[in-house]
Chains A and B, each alone.
Chain A
Amino acid sequence: MAAISLKVNGRVHSVDADPETPLLYVLSDDLQLRGPKFGCGLAQCGACTVMMRGRAVRSCVLPVGAVKQEEITTLEGLGTAERPHAIQQVFMEEGAAQCGFCLSGVILTAKALLDENPKASDEQMREAMSNVLCRCFAHTRMMRAIKRYQGELA
């Protein structure tokens, strides 16, 4: 165990954890954040996704000790119900979910790509989303919401 300092959603936290602990466990157990979720624990589904250095990162396999000074943003760090981020807003308007458990993977993976490349082609978007799963298969609405968000960036 070690005292680890972690900057998450704009706030600095100090947690006592084995540096090998997956970041996800620290976010959900120690910081009690609800955005990133345990889906598979194998970096295969996306439910645990967080943003780090502008990239979508799978927190279920990232040791907390490797985060160092990097700031972490989770789904709840993007915006709030009252002041949602634009991509959250279009997801709300499109009703782009059923159970909603996968949303960190869906929203943050798409956002990371579009932040880097607002003109990403459909092919590039499909590539980015090719290992993101939604088992309710709300794909139609999700991809529509992402497309709308991309339109707003233009």
Chain B
Amino acid sequence: MKARFSRRDFLQASGALVVYFSAAPLVESLAAAQGPFATHPSHIDPEKLDSWLAVASDGTVTAYTGKCDFGQGMYTVQTQLVAEELCVSIQKVRLIQCDTSITPDQGTTSGSQSTPTNFNASGLGQAAATAREILAGMAAQKLGVPLQQVSIEEGVVSAKNGGRVSYGELIGGKHFDVAVSSTAKRRSPDEWKVLGHPIPSMDRAALMTGTFEFVHNVHVAGMVHGRVVRPPEIGATIAQLDDKSVAHIPGLIKVVVRNNFVGVVAEKQWQAAQAAKQLKVTWKPGPGLPPQKDFYDYLRKQPARDGMLVNSRDVDERLKSASQVLKATYVHPYQAHGSIGSSCAVADVQGDRATIWSATQSAYPTRQGISELIGIPVESVRVIFVRGSGCYGLNAADTVSYDAALLSQAVHRPVRVQLTRQDEFLSENYGAACVIEQRVGIDANGAIAVWDCETWAASMGGRPGYDRPGNVITGMLAGFEPEMVRPRSASEPSGDLRNGSNAVPSYMAGCVSGKCGGTGSVRSERVLTHAVKSPFLTGPLRSPLRLQNTFAHECFMDEISSHVGADPVAYRLKYLSEPRMLDVVKAAAKAANWEARPSPKRDAGGRGKAIGRGIACVAYEGDNGYAAMVAEVAVDPASGRVQPRRFVVAQDCGPVSNPDGLRNQIEGGTLQGMSRALGEEITWDGLKVTSIDWHTYHSLPLGIQVPEIECVLLDRPTAEATGAGETAITLVAAALGNAIFDATGARIREVPLTPDRITAALSSLHQTAGFRKHLPSAQPSPAAS
């Protein structure tokens, strides 16, 4: 780690490097192969083509991206993108992901934004198209022919006069020295040879044979092992710490304390684990937690930061004049990312320089956070992304990178920190608990006259971004403040409709400042959101708030259609205006052989095994992908056990870059959504979180009866590319809730949809006289409720 290289040196050396990579794709240590660098704050200018691409003299292409792969397939599909735009095969492309010394700053890999960012008219795709145009122009000049007379195949430019020249001969090892062109022509999907095809994910062989390097496998010379000692409860502070309690442990290097951050470092991992376990720390208890059983009521009563997303200003009046008003309240618990691999990072802090090997989604922001945390200039910090286990959002990858940096700084040696499962479950940034209240006014014809929605979401901390290390537990313990909700009342909506969290139901017209940006037709509309201070740290978890809101909207739409005796698909189609939404709903219903009839089923509420189906749909973030899902379930009314049998998912995400990768995302998203819908919930007692391992936090194992999943991909080659990794998961809780209702007549408005909740709902249904007449399960009331 002694030599100092600049990016320029790297580019000059990249020919050799590329050959090295090609010889050992993904199996060799990326960290080692990328080598050490001095860093400079603004050295990678995204306007410059050389920031994105380098062509070696043998014609191989090294591409640099700020969007990285966590298992969602971005490595393969970005390689396809570069290969496609440059007219080379994927074997010629080597992709370098998220390294603050050598890749452009593309912020955070999150929010289903990698495809929109790099596959539309910007970022990596635009850079590769620019390079192709430049190379074609250079070739035409060299071959002495007009540009129109050259064609490119496999990195070789040929002229009609028979002349040929390769990329390597044109520019091998040299800089382009031009800006990325915003007008460089992109290859259209009908010309695609690499994109659009089900290229097998490139990491498969290494994964299946156990040779893939995860961040957990990074070894740095002289590396020692760290563990952390987290407070048992949020807000607890150190009362007393006895470092003599671990003095007897062989190999112990140091007990490190910084404010309320506590960690230990030892020569071997087992020694560090023993020291962390045996270290005597007395904690002064935290402020305590609101009781879980009343938590959703508590949430609604807290001061909040309010946001008004749409307000047609006639909602109260229309609710008064409606012939019926339906109301229902939905709640969703905190859930964990629960990555299969507890998070890990390696840091090497030597004097005023730091190198961090991290699975963070946010290489550049993490670099800034670490600079603040350990007090060295940001230019001297390098964060190198090395894949961790699937993260699904802000798991503990950022916080463990901070842990490693603090411990390495304290012992002046490279330190690897492995969190325990309990560390991570205790204090990760959970997906937010939410309450969503719905009201609609129905007119005499059973049509929706007005829709009113109010949401409460718990929030504290979040992504650290560039300036908030306190947003994750390590920063908070080390003395940085997490971002807190600052209560304020809502101002009236203005500008464009903001529906990034899907707080606005798909059936609303979404009219703001005279422009209707929604996907539906209900024009009397109001959506008021409240962000409420959370007692736990929160952060983005796959489909953050979008999933919670969609659960409420799509179940409620089902309640309305049931109340008016309409088929749930037909009733949805009546209120959707966006053609892409109409298409996905129709496609899912068709593929599922949807039987048009109102829910619940005629024989619902019986004692035998009940079969039902439910539908849900979403325009993810308002316009970032469209999907509809039909779920078919069997419910055992005696036990309340739900067996999902089949899911049909129709998805439109614009042009499909890799159909196999997309299917994998839909299948995985669907089953992860099923696990979250049926069993996952953070639990706590008066002081501390009690769901701290896989026995207390319930993830569906491999040994379940795996339902059939059918994907219908609606390819839209001329549309913009959208995200696709979070769309299916958004729909599962709603589709299952609706299917359970269809099967049994029991409406469960609380996730997870547990057997207990289902049997309780069924028994209260059975106790109600005239069960069939009471099927509309939202509370109907005369006007003005």
| Interface residues in chain A, defined as those with a beta carbon under 8 Å from any beta carbon in chain B | 1, 17-18, 20-22, 25, 28-29, 32-42, 44-45, 47, 74-81, 84, 88, 91-92, 95, 97-104, 106-107, 125-143
Task: With A131-B701, A136-B390, A137-B675 as known contacts, state yes or no: A100 contacts B205, CB within 8 Å.
Answer: no
**A99: chain B residues within 8 A (beta carbon):** 70-71, 340, 387-390
Return the contact of A107 from the options B208, B250, B672 (Cβ within 8 A). B208
Contact A80–B694 (Cβ < 8 Å): no
Nearest CB in chain B to that of A97: its residue: B207
Is the beta-carbon distance between B704 and A139 smaller than 8 angstroms?
yes
Q: Are A34 and B706 in contact (CB under 8 A)?
A: no
Q: How far is the CA of A59 from the CA of B206 in the complex (A)?
A: 21
CB-nearest residue of chain B relative to A102? B340
Query: In whole angstroms, what is the CA distance A140 to B339 when docked?
Result: 19
A139 contacts B671, C-beta separation under 8 Å: yes
Query: Is A74 a contact of B207 with CB atoms below 8 Å?
Result: no
Shortest beta-carbon distance, A123 to chain B, in Å? Answer: 10
| A81-B677 Cα distance, complex, nearest whole Å | 37
**Residue contact B703 to A129, C-beta cutoff 8 Å:** yes
Residue B257, interface by CB 8 Å: no
* Residue B316 CB within 8 A of the other chain: no
Q: B341 on the interface (CB 8 Å rule)?
A: yes
Q: Which residue in chain B gives the minimum CB-CB distance to A77? A: B210
Q: Assess the A20–B210 pair: CB atoms within 8 A.
A: no
Q: How far is the CA of A127 from the CA of B703 in the complex (A)?
A: 6
5 contacting pairs across A/B (C-beta < 8 A) = A79-B209, A102-B389, A129-B703, A136-B71, A137-B674
**A81–B201 alpha-carbon span in the complex (Å):** 14
Closest 8 A/B residue pairs (Cβ):
A99-B71, A35-B210, A75-B210, A130-B703, A100-B207, A101-B389, A137-B671, A129-B703
In the complex, given contacts A32-B219, A142-B702, what are 13 additional A-B residue pairs having Cβ atoms less than 8 angstroms apart?
A: A38-B344, A39-B341, A39-B421, A74-B210, A91-B204, A95-B204, A98-B73, A100-B71, A100-B203, A101-B71, A130-B703, A135-B699, A137-B674
- Bound Cα distance A25, B207 (Å): 20
**Chain B residues in 8 Å Cβ range of A91:** 204, 208
The answer on a CB contact under 8 Å between B694 and A42 is yes
Number of A-B contacts (CB under 8 A): 202
A95:B200 contact, CB within 8 angstroms: yes
Residues of B in contact with A (beta carbons under 8 Å apart): 27, 70-73, 200-201, 203-214, 216-217, 219, 225, 250, 268-271, 338-342, 344, 387-390, 392, 418, 420-421, 660, 664-665, 667-672, 674-675, 693-695, 699-706, 709
Query: Please, which residues of chain A bring their CB within 8 A of the CB of B668?
Result: 98, 136-138
Q: Contact at A98–B703, with CB atoms within 8 Å?
A: no
Residues of A within 8 A of B344 (CB): 38
Task: List, in ascending order, chain B residues with CB within 8 A of A36's CB.
Answer: 210
Determine the chain A residues whose CB is within 8 A of the CB of B703 once the complex forms. 125-132
Q: For the complex, would chain A's binding face be called helix, strand, loop or mixed by DSSP majority?
A: loop
Q: List chain B residues, Cβ under 8 A from A34.
A: 210-214, 217
B-side contacts of A25, CB under 8 Å: 268-270
A74 and B217 CA atoms in complex are apart in Å by 15
- CB proximity of B679 to chain A, nearest CB, Å: 12
- Interfacial chain B residues near A137, Cβ < 8 Å: 667-672, 674-675, 700
- List the A side residues contacting B213 at CB < 8 Å: 34
Q: Which residues of A contact B694 (CB under 8 A)?
A: 40, 42, 44-45, 133
For the complex, give the distance between the alpha carbons of A144 and B217 in Å: 29
- List residues of chain B with CB within 8 A of the CB of A28: 216-217
B701 touching A133 by the CB < 8 A rule?
yes
- Whether B214 and A135, one on each chain, are in contact in the complex, defined by CB atoms closer than 8 angstroms, is no
Once bound together, how far apart are the Cα atoms of A106 and B210, in whole Å?
12
A109 to chain B: closest residue by CB: B702
A42 to B219 alpha-carbon distance, docked (Å): 24
A20 CA to B702 CA in the complex, in Å? 30
CB distance from A59 to the nearest CB of B (A): 13
- Measured in the bound complex, the distance between the Cα atoms of B211 and A21 in whole Å is 23
Nearest-neighbor residue (CB-CB) of A127 within chain B: B703
Q: B209 near A141 (CB under 8 angstroms)? A: no
Chain A residues contacting B217 (CB-CB under 8 Å) are: 28, 32, 34
On chain A, the residues within 8 Å of B341 by CB distance are 37-39, 47, 101
Q: Complex formed: what's the CA distance from A29 to B238 in Å?
A: 32
> Please, how many angstroms separate the alpha-carbon atoms of A28 and B341 in the complex?
14
Give the most central of B250, B270, B339, B667: most A CB within 10 Å: B270
**A1: chain B residues within 8 A (beta carbon):** 250
Asked if B706 and A135 make an inter-chain contact with CB atoms under 8 angstroms apart, the answer reads no
* B204 lies within 8 A of A92 (CB): yes
Tell me whether A81 and B205 are in contact in the complex, defined as CB-CB below 8 angstroms, given that A25-B268, A42-B694, A129-B701 are known contacts.
yes
Q: Are the CB atoms of B210 and A81 closer together than 8 Å?
A: no
Q: Is there an interface contact between A134 and B340, defined as CB atoms closer than 8 Å?
A: yes
Asked if residues A45 and B340 are in contact (CB atoms below 8 Å), the reply is yes
B268: contacting residue among A21, A78, A133, CB under 8 A = A21
Whether the pair A104, B342 counts as a contact (CB closer than 8 A) is no
Closest chain B residue to A43, Cβ basis: B694
Q: A101-B341, A140-B671 are in contact. Are A17 and B270 (CB under 8 A)?
A: yes
The residues of A that contact B665 with a CB separation of less than 8 Å are: 98
Q: Which residue of B lies closest to A144 (CB)?
A: B706
Most buried by A among B73, B269, B271, B669: B269
Q: Are A41 and B420 in contact (CB under 8 A)?
A: yes
A76 touches B268 (CB 8 A): no
A131 (CB) vs chain B CBs: closest residue: B701
Q: Which residues of A contact B211 (CB under 8 A)?
A: 34-35, 76, 80-81
Select A135's contact among B201, B339, B670, beta carbons within 8 Å.
B339
Which A residues touch B671, using CB under 8 A? 137, 139-140
**Contact (Cβ within 8 A) B214 A97:** no
Q: A98-B390, A135-B389 are in contact. Are A39 and B342 (CB under 8 A)?
A: yes
Closest Cβ of chain A: how far from B768's Cβ, in Å? 37
Closest chain B residue to A16 by CB distance?
A: B268
Question: Measured between C-beta atoms, what is the minimum distance from A80 to chain B in Å?
Answer: 6
The residue that A95 contacts in the complex, of B387, B392, B664, with Cβ under 8 A, is B664
Determine whether the beta carbon of B71 is less than 8 Å from that of A38.
no
